[in-house]
Structure 1
Amino acid sequence: MSNKWASLLAFVLPLGLIAGALISEYGFGLFPCEMCMWQRWPHYAAIVLGGLALVLNRSVMARPLTLLAALAILISGTIGGFHAGVEYGWWEGITSCASGFEQGLDAAQTLDAIMDAPIVRCDTAPWSVFGISLAGFNFLFSVFGAIIIFMMARSSKGA
């Protein structure tokens, strides 16, 4: 099996998960907490790494880039698993909450932005289906997707 398919999955999977996160945030008002944001950074890295692997498909760098993308996806999934455990009350998470507002405002505008900003708790799932939160879905898709990418890249070692 070609490393191209592994690279394609390493690019498309995090792209789809980030698109879903952004749609849920901007389309449905499900504002991310701090741990939600932590899950996004490895996906952004995986998008870049997977994209580079696709562009450099015939290069000796394609397979290592694909493996690094899979590792980044796995890291995001691991953070998602930890976050889901916090939401389900299995263990304690971080104690801070996250809210976003524009930078570069004067003091009065900053105070208004702080007062109007939604406070998002990391230990409460804002949405779930079948008892699985967004963090739980990130865990499932990312971990299993990373395993599939690793297996695909391994089987293409000689290709």
Structure 2
Amino acid sequence: MANSSPRDDVDAALVAAIAITGIATVTLAGAWFFQLVLDIRPCQLCLEQRYAYYVVIPLGLLLALAAARGAPRPVLLTGLVVIALATLGNAGLATYHSGVEWGLWKGPTECTGPVGDLGSAGNLLQRLDSVKVVRCDEVQWRFLGLSLAGYNVLISLLMAAIAAWGAIRSARRDLR
């Protein structure tokens, strides 16, 4: 086994943090592009899946800065574990959403059930024109058979794997 310096362990955390931050930023920018440019509006589950990215991006940036400045290994490990857990949780939510889209199980009633109260009969047509219900069980876009939720499963698992790699590589120093 080749000798490695403590700097190698920091570099693994730094590489992982930068890679995760980049992947998360591009993914979130893509989601906004689909929404704002292509007018593919997100459903409630889609919006909930973005929360992990809102946590992972700033945490990844902080972690990269900490790793670049030689932060203590426990700080780096904790940050990578938090990112891994957040992205694994997001992969679970995206898997649930994909299952709703494929009809494998029922989704939340807020975005898969019948349309609720639309107000009085007098302004019903006006309200129908202004309301666009985005259902969680209807796929608006697919590529190679996967919806955006399906791709989110893969992307979230990738980020979790990168975080795990960085954490394991950084933790191995204790075993030497």
TM-score normalised by structure 2 residue count: 0.76
Give yes or no for contact 1:78–1:143 (8 Å, CA) kept in 2: no
Among 23, 41, 58, the alignment partner of 2:33 is: 23
- What is the CA distance between 1:131 and its match in structure 2? 1.1
CA distance in 2, matches of 1:21, 1:113: 27
- What is the CA distance between 1:113 and its match in structure 2? 7.5
- What is the CA distance between 1:144 and its match in structure 2? 2.7
Q: Please identify runs of 4+ aligned residues in structure 1 that moved more than 2 A.
A: 112-115
Partner of 2:5: none
Alignment of 1:1-159 (within 5 A): 2-57=12-67, 58-60=70-72, 61-97=75-111, 115-157=129-171, 158=173
CA distance in 2, matches of 1:151, 1:41: 23
What letter corresponds to residue 22 of structure 2 in structure 1? V
Unaligned runs of 5+ in 1: 99-111
CA distance in 2, matches of 1:23, 1:95: 27
CA distance in 1, matches of 2:77, 2:61: 12
> Equivalent residue of 2:110, what SS?
coil
TM-score normalised by structure 1 residue count: 0.84
Unaligned runs of 5+ in 2: 1-7, 113-125
What letter corresponds to residue 29 of structure 1 in structure 2? D
CA distance in 1, matches of 2:128, 2:63: 42
CA distance in 2, matches of 1:25, 1:93: 21
Give yes or no for contact 2:56–2:86 (8 Å, CA) kept in 1: yes
- What is the CA distance between 1:118 and its match in structure 2? 1.8
- What is the CA distance between 1:114 and its match in structure 2? 7.3
CA distance in 2, matches of 1:85, 1:69: 24
Give yes or no for contact 1:7–1:62 (8 Å, CA) kept in 2: no
Sort the Cα spacing of 1:121 and 1:156 in 2 relative to 1 into closer, same or farther, 3 A: same
1:17-66: per-residue Cα shift (whole Å, max 9, x none)? 11111110001001000000110001110112111101111212233112
1:83-129: per-residue Cα shift (whole Å, max 9, x none)? 0010011111111139xxxxxxxxxxxxx687423210000110001
CA distance in 2, matches of 1:33, 1:91: 17
Sort the Cα spacing of 1:8 and 1:113 in 2 relative to 1 into closer, same or farther, 3 A: farther
Identity across matched positions, percent? 30
